Amino acid sequence: MHPTAAAPAESAPKGVDFDREIRPILSDNCFACHGPDEKQRTAGLRLDTKEGAFADRGGYQVIVPGKASESKLYQKISAKDDAVRMPPPGFERNLTAKQIELIRQWIDQGAKWEQQWSFVPPKQPPLPQVKDSSWPRNPIDHFILARLEQAGLKPSPETDKVTLLRRATFDLTGLPPTPAEVDAFLADESTDAYEKVVDRLLNSPRYGERMAMQWLDLARYSDSHGYHIDSLREMWHWRDWAIDAFNRNMPFDEFTVEQLAGDLLPDATLQQQIATGFNRNHMINFEGGAIPEEYQTEYVVNRVSTTSTVWMGLTMGCARCHDHKYDPIKQKEFYQFYAFFNTIPEKGLDGQKGNAAPLLFLPSPEQQRQLDQLKDEIAAREKALPEKELGVLQAKWEKTRLSTMPPPPGEGLVAHYELEGHLADTSGHYQHANIVKGQVTYNPGVVGKAVEFDGETEVELTNTTVLDRANSFSLGVWVNPSAISIGTQEVMILQTAKDSADRPGFQLSFDEVQKLPRMKRGSHLLVRMVHHWPEDSIQIKTKDPLILGSWMALMLTYDGSGKASALKLYVDGKPQEVEVIRDNLSGSCRSSLPLQIGNGNLARAYKGQIDDLRIYDRPLSLGEIENLAIHLPIRAALAGVAGKPFKEISLPKSEEDSEEGEMEAEKESKEERAVKEQRVKLTDYFLTYDAPESFRKAYAELKSLRARKAELEETIPNTMVMREMKNPRETFVLGRGEYSNKGEKVSAGVPASLPPLPKELPRNRLGLAKWLVSPSHPLTSRVVVNRYWQNYFGTGMVKTAEDFGSQGEPPSHAELLDWLATEFMRTGWDVKAMQRLILTSATYRQSSRVTPELLEKDPENRLLARGPRFRLPAETVRDSALAISGLLNGEIGGPSAYPYQPKGLWEELAFGDIFSGQSYTPGSGKDLYRRSMYTVWKRTVPPPSLATFDAPDREKCTARRARTNTPLQALVLLNDPTYVEAARGLAQRMITEAGRDPAQRINFGFRLATARKPEPREVAVLVQTAKQQLAEYRRHKDEAAKLLGVGESKYDPQLDVSELAAWTSVASSILNLDETVSKE
């Protein structure tokens, strides 16, 4: 049974309570086989519904009200025979004797059945009668006191003013009160002094930060994508929206609608669109080899699970693969709910360069002006390119253009490797290639197929004697170096030199691969002709690095003069500026070795694709080079689409349209995608070279404008948002939850066990959001106020804040929960009003002191006969230390900060290459001391000091954090640079602000950390510590300097080093007090 199931009810019990005592037993022990999941149900028996439990089963009933001895249920669970007893032997749980007796009593008392409490809309109950009418300060206290009196307990006395102020300040701002605030409160003797403090705290900008901290857990907010690569994203605009929403006291119903469907509101503002980032905070993958549709499915499943947990406290994700085993949610209903979130124009694999579409750009006024102008000009050019007319022209052009295309140059061709599924030389010289190492695989290339090189594959071509100093020649090849990592020193494309300095040869390579701006990889193209390295050689390279990662046509020509100037390089048909590194070749560079693709040296091996290699014994003209780079792929594309029906012209699309096009392409077959890609090439060629002049001009301008727009957008901040597709996806029930196992087609809807979606609401996210905050919804208001309660008392009235279903714990104070839920709705979902109501209650204001009686009768404080006492949240522990020390940077919002963390943590799990977030560089200056909620959050490596204090990794929605107590936490407080610096900062304040008297210094530091004055015995201990430490550091000044050198902040050079070090040790002791890191 659940821990609270046997607790007394709020009013005098009238027999066994089904919802609180019996349902949990049935749920834990019976529903797996006799519950909502039809496929797992045995014997046709259903015990999760009244109809199933009391049904006539052919002459007998499983439950006979008033007669346990005649009820099959009781007979089975009490049977001694293993063959008869239920649950059967081997089941994961066994009923206890106490549970069996409870069921017997319940049946004998009439077997009164009640619907699952959380699925019944709450009604505001009357305030219960209490004996001590002087204690309650507001309605909350009536419910708490009635329960305490029933249990024979009395509430604890009100805590002292200092403790109360510190408690409320931490709860509403996440920071400790200052001594000035403590003194002001102590001096205020008015009857509403505390209420004025609560109002002040609710109006503090720090309130929004504190409230947002829990919301970030729920929203699985992170600065990284997660999964294996876990590169960075920028979602801080959404985080700042949440802080501002709490500070503005946005009603929770509006807060809900804007986050789930702000983009669907009429004339949605920028801020309402930013709000929808809530459901883009999930993890995103873009690993090579991953299946796009599989991950797109995972994103939608995550939205369903998160939304159902945050607003309804339901484990709806359990119905992904089958009907829910415990709650009335069918698998079909899961996918109906899924359909609300399956209409986003997102790709399954995205985020490689940062944020993943759909994006909302957040330009400055000047950037917006430029964007608007570019959009207008683009629209004008698009109108000048009528797709229907152009489609007719292109279709006609495709039928005849191949016959008029100039053939590739044939004069002087000494070797041609088409690589069309073979390694044959088709030039007529029969210099066929051979596989020396590894395997050769063929994938689609630029001109038909291409060879894939994985870093181990090595291919040798018959020795080509034309590649020599005295000969003129040309060499052309298509390359796609798609898998070469950042930092690779030099990558050989083709060579005859075999890396030997004393051997003649020719080399074509990329030099060291470097990281370029905007998440790109780049490298210079390098050519060497060597007789003896380095004194007898030519070496040139392109002046600018080439961007790697896509196909490019490389061509070099040489006129046989022996000079570096005789070498010309071309990329995609365009001459390249080169840098001459060596120009002293006098000997022959003819090699006895064959021309090699790939390399035995794995560190320099080519990884990527190679297509259509040609070698000529003469320098090609620029026209011939353009032919190979520009026209040759078009010949292949024309051949590829020959006989394929022409559907429509493929003009460049807007960003949104291109995103949807890419998503549609993910569903197409390889052949369909290949034809579409070829048609895109053909359209570009047609409109660039062969279309009527007016169209060519408009197209050239359109491409230029789109390039300018893309370049401008690269400089504009953006954030991920929700947006509806123009052509929404269809949604199907997925067998076993597998993306490819599509079953029945479904449309958007909500579970039948909950109120229906009103007819006047749209069947989209906006309708769903409004349904969630409708007065008839039984869950949302309860779930939300329960989390607020959890924030202040450490445990919600429903302990399982994430699960209000039958597997969750029943509420400790069901009537109070319903009263607060209905009051929350009645007051217009006023968030601040609800916080004020809780904090001004007598319940909240109690002392947290534990008596032997309370420890025995209510060890977990579920009855709330005392105030809350528990360790502060991870972020608050750190923020408090920074505030006490005077180091805290109070800047609100903005990009995430990079405080200290141990070296090498990110690097240990880094994928590397061009991706962001693969190495960690701490910030500097004020950035180091920002509030912890602004710390950069990488899912695979959460902030280590915060994780030690139980902060989650944010890979999924977290409705309640674990609360642990480990030695690692003490080590963090003693050794983490932030806390060492904080101790030094506090020590400096104690020395400079409290005078020379050690006792005064300790009094000052103690008040900063705990808000109270220390006891004489505490002062004595710390004074003695200061003396001992001072003596130690006077003997070892080098150790004092070492201690004070931790961290970037500077201490006052006028202070004595030994004295400051000694008081730093004292300050560290104060910061490590359990009282300092706890809320009492």
- Note the pLDDT tens digit of each residue in 961-992: 999 999 999 999 999 999 999 999 999 999 99
Residue 514 has pLDDT above 90, yes or no: no
Same domain, 614 and 654: no
What stretches of 54-135 show up as alpha helix (H) in DSSP?
72-77, 97-108
| CA gyration radius, the chain | 36
Q: Is residue 388 part of a domain?
A: yes
- For residue 279 the two structure tokens come to 């459901």
Same domain, 451 and 520: yes
Contact 842, 141 (CB under 8 A): yes
pLDDT at 914 (0 to 100) = 75
Could you identify the residue written with the tokens 């949440």? 242
pLDDT at 971 (0 to 100) = 97
C-alpha to C-alpha distance for 39 and 43, rounded to whole angstroms: 11
Q: Looking at residues 169-178, what average pLDDT do you find?
A: 99
Strand locations in 96-245 (E): none
pLDDT tens digit sequence for 272-311: 999 999 999 999 999 888 999 999 999 999 999 999 999 9
Contact 875, 931 (CB under 8 A): yes
All residues at 6 or more sequence positions from 771 whose CB lies less than 8 Å from its CB, including other chains: 750, 755, 757, 758, 761, 777
Contact 644, 671 (CB under 8 A): no
> Of 1022 and 90, which is predicted with more confidence?
1022
Domain boundary among the residues 781, 802, 823 is at 802
Q: Is residue 370 part of a domain?
A: no
Same domain, 596 and 501: yes
Same domain, 265 and 229: yes
> Of 229 and 659, which is predicted with more confidence?
229
> Of 699 and 912, which is predicted with more confidence?
699
Instruction: Give the least confident one: 1-15, 318-332, 948-962.
Output: 1-15
As a dihedral over the C-alpha atoms of residue 17, residue 18, residue 21, residue 27, rounded to 10 degrees, the angle is: -170
Crossing angle of helices 1037-1044 and 1057-1071, in 10° steps, is 60
Give, rounded to a whole angstrom, the gap between the first and last alpha carbons of the chain.
31
pLDDT bracket for residue 92 (50, 70, 90): confident
Q: Looking at residues 872-879, what average pLDDT do you find?
A: 98
Count of CB atoms within 10 A of residue 132's CB?
12
Residue 524 has pLDDT above 80, yes or no: yes
Q: Which residue, among 1038, 292, 979, has the nearest Cα to 659 in the 3D structure?
A: 292
Contact 55, 61 (CB under 8 A): yes
Contact 424, 432 (CB under 8 A): yes
Q: How far is CA 630 from CA 401, 402, 552, 915, 945, in A?
A: 14, 14, 11, 31, 56
pLDDT at 115 (0 to 100) = 87
Same domain, 1010 and 1057: yes
Same domain, 526 and 600: yes
pLDDT tens digit sequence for 531-575: 999 999 999 999 999 999 899 999 999 999 999 999 999 999 999
C-alpha to C-alpha distance for 474 and 927, rounded to whole angstroms: 56
Q: Is residue 1060 part of a domain?
A: yes
How many independent structural domains does the chain possess? 5
Domain boundary among the residues 81, 114, 147 is at 114
C-alpha to C-alpha distance for 465 and 984, rounded to whole angstroms: 74
Q: Looking at residues 455-472, what average pLDDT do you find?
A: 88
pLDDT bracket for residue 668 (50, 70, 90): low
Using DSSP, state whether 452 is helix, strand or coil: strand
Q: How far is CA 547 from CA 485, 554, 677, in A?
A: 13, 13, 21
C-alpha to C-alpha distance for 788 and 783, rounded to whole angstroms: 9
Residue 11 has pLDDT above 60, yes or no: no
- Cα 115–117–120 angle (5° rounding)? 80
Residue 396 has pLDDT above 60, yes or no: yes
Using DSSP, state whether 706 is helix, strand or coil: helix
- For residue 332 the two structure tokens come to 């079909």
Q: Which residue, among 574, 571, 554, has the nearest Cα to 478 in the 3D structure?
A: 554
Crossing angle of helices 161-173 and 179-187, in 10° steps, is 130
Domain boundary among the residues 619, 648, 675 is at 619
C-alpha to C-alpha distance for 400 and 385, rounded to whole angstroms: 22
Could you identify the residue written with the tokens 């004489």? 1016
Main-chain phi, psi angles of 881, to 5 degrees: -60, -40
pTM of the model: 0.88
- Cα 45–48–50 angle (5° rounding)? 85
- Torsional sign, CA 893, 895, 896, 900: negative
Q: Which residue, among 635, 1071, 621, 580, has the nearest Cα to 872 in the 3D structure?
A: 1071
C-alpha to C-alpha distance for 60 and 79, rounded to whole angstroms: 18
pLDDT tens digit sequence for 217-228: 999 999 999 999
Contact 285, 332 (CB under 8 A): no
Residue 953 has pLDDT above 50, yes or no: yes
Same domain, 1059 and 1024: yes
Contact 304, 315 (CB under 8 A): no
Using DSSP, state whether 42 is helix, strand or coil: coil
pLDDT tens digit sequence for 982-1026: 999 999 999 999 999 999 999 999 999 999 999 999 999 999 999
C-alpha to C-alpha distance for 386 and 97, rounded to whole angstroms: 81
**Which CATH number covers residue 485?**
2.60.120.200
What stretches of 262-310 show up as alpha helix (H) in DSSP?
270-275, 292-307
All residues at 6 or more sequence positions from 320 whose CB lies less than 8 Å from its CB, including other chains: 301, 304, 331, 334, 734, 737
Contact 851, 155 (CB under 8 A): no
- For residue 558 the two structure tokens come to 């040489």
Buried b or exposed e, range 321-342, using 16+ CB within 10 angstroms: ebbbbbbbbbbbbbbbbbbbbb
Q: Which residue, among 185, 177, 183, 184, has the nearest Cα to 204 in the 3D structure?
A: 177
Residue 655 has pLDDT above 80, yes or no: no
Round the average pLDDT of the chain to a whole number and report it: 93
Main-chain phi, psi angles of 462, to 5 degrees: -55, 140
Could you identify the residue written with the tokens 């807007």? 654
pLDDT bracket for residue 13 (50, 70, 90): very low
User: Within its chain, how far is the Cα of 113 from the centroid?
Assistant: 43
Q: Looking at residues 376-403, what average pLDDT do you find?
A: 93
231: amino acid identity, one letter = S
Same domain, 578 and 477: yes
Q: Is residue 894 part of a domain?
A: no
802: amino acid identity, one letter = E
C-alpha to C-alpha distance for 153 and 849, rounded to whole angstroms: 15
Burial class (CB in 10 A: 0-12, 13-18, 19+), 577: exposed
Using DSSP, state whether 744 is helix, strand or coil: strand
pLDDT bracket for residue 667 (50, 70, 90): low
> What is the domain range of residue 73?
18-114
C-alpha to C-alpha distance for 720 and 347, rounded to whole angstroms: 13
As a dihedral over the C-alpha atoms of residue 844, residue 849, residue 851, residue 853, rounded to 10 degrees, the angle is: 10
Residue 499 has pLDDT above 70, yes or no: no
Burial class (CB in 10 A: 0-12, 13-18, 19+), 109: middle
Structural element, H or E, at residue 734: strand 731-734
**Cis omega (within 30 of 0) on the bond before 87?**
yes
Q: Is residue 825 part of a domain?
A: no
pLDDT tens digit sequence for 14-54: 589 888 889 889 988 988 899 888 888 888 898 888 888 89
pLDDT bracket for residue 12 (50, 70, 90): very low
Using DSSP, state whether 532 is helix, strand or coil: strand
Q: Looking at residues 497-512, what average pLDDT do you find?
A: 81
Q: Which residue, among 821, 956, 1054, 1049, has the nearest Cα to 302 in the 3D structure?
A: 956
pLDDT bracket for residue 602 (50, 70, 90): low
Same domain, 469 and 615: yes
- For residue 581 the two structure tokens come to 């590194």
What stretches of 580-668 show up as alpha helix (H) in DSSP?
622-626, 632-641, 655-667
Instruction: Give the least confident one: 98-102, 793-797, 876-880.
Output: 98-102
C-alpha to C-alpha distance for 968 and 636, rounded to whole angstroms: 64
Q: Is residue 524 part of a domain?
A: yes
Main-chain phi, psi angles of 480, to 5 degrees: -135, 85
Instruction: Give the least confident one: 518-527, 766-775, 880-889.
Output: 518-527
Q: Is residue 968 part of a domain?
A: no
Report the greatest alpha carbon distance in the chain.
111
The number of helix segments (H) and strand segments (E) in the chain equals: 36, 25
Same domain, 493 and 604: yes
Same domain, 455 and 584: yes
> Of 520 and 621, which is predicted with more confidence?
621
C-alpha to C-alpha distance for 61 and 52, rounded to whole angstroms: 10
Same domain, 385 and 488: no
Q: Is residue 854 part of a domain?
A: no
Buried b or exposed e, range 137-166, using 16+ CB within 10 angstroms: bebbbbbbbbbbbbeebebbebbebbbbbb
